Amino acid sequence: MKRVAILMAVLALAAGCDDDSPTQPSNTGPIVFTVQLSAANEVPPVTGAESGGRGTTTITFDVPRDSAGAITGGGTVTFAIQLTGFPANTPVNLAHIHPGATGVNGGVLVNTGLTAATPLLLNNGTGNLSITANITQDQATQITAAPANFYFNVHTTLNPSPGAARGQLVRQ
């Protein structure tokens, strides 16, 4: 009985002790999304040479947040893009975040900065790229509030509009 009482007293003390808790809550760090890209997800779906295009993208927002996790300012967004299944020497010349639920196309909201002058060339049909761009507080807040209502896609010379591979954002 004494051991149980001592154990309960130790547990009660440990529960009230904050000395080992982190100084920064986990809801103030980077905000991360993943995207599974597929040519079949484009609206309409891609046909022809680039119909096998696919990949993954990790999108990381580095924006200031308060202790409750609310975004309090603009910052940067990093896009880690991995593509495969495209024909050799495919130039990826645009990549963006758009508003739009599955099956709905929308205008550009956040641009990566890729251009025809600075494309990602998929020499053997695959490629990796990391790009950092700016994001506003409003953009980050909108996307974070409802990530499934936004998609990321890449555009190529062969499929400039609406794009070559697309996927909805999923928060991690």
- pLDDT tens column, 95-133: 999 999 999 999 999 999 999 899 999 999 999 999 999
> Which amino acid is residue 120, in one-letter code?
L
> Which amino acid is residue 101, in one-letter code?
A
Sign, Cα dihedral of 32, 36, 39, 45: negative
**Residue 131 burial (CB count, 10 A):** 16
* CA separation for the pair 141, 74 (Å, rounded): 9
C-beta of residue 154 within 8 angstroms of C-beta of residue 83: yes
Q: Which tokens hold the place of 6?
A: 């001592």
Using the 8-state DSSP alphabet, how is residue 147 labeled? G
Under 8 Å CB-to-CB from 4, ≥6 apart: which residues?
none
Q: Using pLDDT thresholds of 50, 70 and 90, give the confidence band for residue 24.
A: very low
Give CA separation, 142 vs 30, 136, 138, 167, in Å. 16, 10, 6, 17
Structural domains of the chain, with CATH:
23-171 (2.60.40.200)
Q: What share of the chain has pLDDT > 90, as a percent? A: 81
pLDDT of residue 2: 45
Under 8 Å CB-to-CB from 134, ≥6 apart: which residues?
74, 75, 76, 77
Q: List the single range of 5-19, 31-45, 59-73, 77-91 with lowest mean pLDDT.
A: 5-19
Number of H helices, E strands in the chain: 2, 10
